[in-house]
Amino acid sequence: MATLEIRDLHVSVEAENGPREILKGVDLTVKQGETHAIMGPNGSGKSTLAYSLAGHPKYTVTGGSVLLDGEDVLEMSVDERAKAGVFLAMQYPVEVPGVSVSNFLRTAATAVRGEAPKLRLWVKEVKEAMAALQMDPAFAERNVNEGFSGGEKKRHEILQLELLKPKIAILDETDSGLDVDALRIVSEGINRVRSTGEVGTLLVTHYTRILRYIKPDYVHVFAGGRIVESGGAELADKLENEGYEAYVKGGASE
Ligand code: ADP
Ligand code: MG
Ligand code: MG
């Protein structure tokens, strides 16, 4: 079972008036098969954590460690991280001119698997995964992210998740901007991947509504650049009722 271990992670971004520390000592262990919800107020650093784990160049790690089965993730390039099994849904939020969804996914799968999937099997795999997400087959021929609606972007993320089968999946605000039907379909996709028991999921979200569909094993409250409380699924219910005020006013945030 793969284990991602984040220890005392400190991360800064380059702001106008010099470096600014956003992550202030994050400790978290995620094992394959587990689902962790990271919940917190806007601006608390949740996306910074997600991007840092994926190796986004904008974020500078100034302290701490991230290990995947003892291997130093922070030393790995973005591609090496993907190959090692760390998946960030927003990894490719940009438009990729002239590259169809179908080709993009095959290239990504080739990078992760170390060899190109056999074309006929691949086409079948993509078709089935798209059908499960109730996506129009024509979507496969569209250019990546070009004119995608919010909902299409999210489905494309979950499609990647289903096809790339990572060990650790980081889903940042997968629920934002989805209507109820799309939220259900996307959640079912995440649950399908989860039910294999082979992915550890970090579900980053501001809102509790996706947790009606996906029951996390652990809930962590993120405030002021670190985890300030951890619990089971019941912690999400508490947050739904009481919000984040207690954590922010308590001085946990800056
Ligand atoms: P969340 O995802 O929890 O809403 P973010 O990780 O996006 O939080 O942002 C955390 C904090 O880092 C915010 O206060 C944000 O303004 C700040 N931040 C992010 N990127 C930059 C940047 N390039 N320069 C300055 N501040 C930044
Ligand atoms: Mg520290
Ligand atoms: Mg965010």
Please provide the CATH number assigned to the domain covering 3-249.
3.40.50.300
Ligand 3 centroid to Cα of residue 88, in Å, is: 13
The 10s digit of each residue's pLDDT in 87-113 is: 887 654 556 678 899 888 998 898 888
**Ligand closest to the CA atom of residue 58:** 1
Ligand 2 centroid to Cα of residue 110, in Å, is: 38
Among residues 237, 175, 154, which one has the least CA distance to residue 46?
A: 175
Structure tokens at 57: 């160049």
- Return d(Cα 107, Cα 17) in angstroms, integer: 40
The 10s digit of each residue's pLDDT in 127-156 is: 999 999 999 999 999 998 888 888 888 899
Which residue stretches of the chain have pLDDT < 70?
90-96, 249-254
Q: What is the pTM of this model?
A: 0.92
Predicted ipTM?
Answer: 0.94
Residue 252: what pLDDT? 47
Among residues 151, 143, 155, 164, which one has the least CA distance to residue 95?
A: 143
Instruction: Check: CB of residue 150 under 8 Å from CB of residue 183.
Output: no
- Return d(Cα 195, Cα 201) in angstroms, integer: 11
How many residues are listed for the chain in this entry?
254
Structure tokens at 187: 């959640």
Residue 126: what pLDDT? 94
Ligand 1 atom 5 nearest Cα? 45
Answer whether 241 contacts ligand 1 (Cβ < 6 A): no
Answer whether 220 contacts ligand 1 (Cβ < 6 A): no
Ligand 1 atom 26 nearest Cα? 15
- Return d(Cα 8, Cα 203) in angstroms, integer: 20
Residue 1: what pLDDT? 86
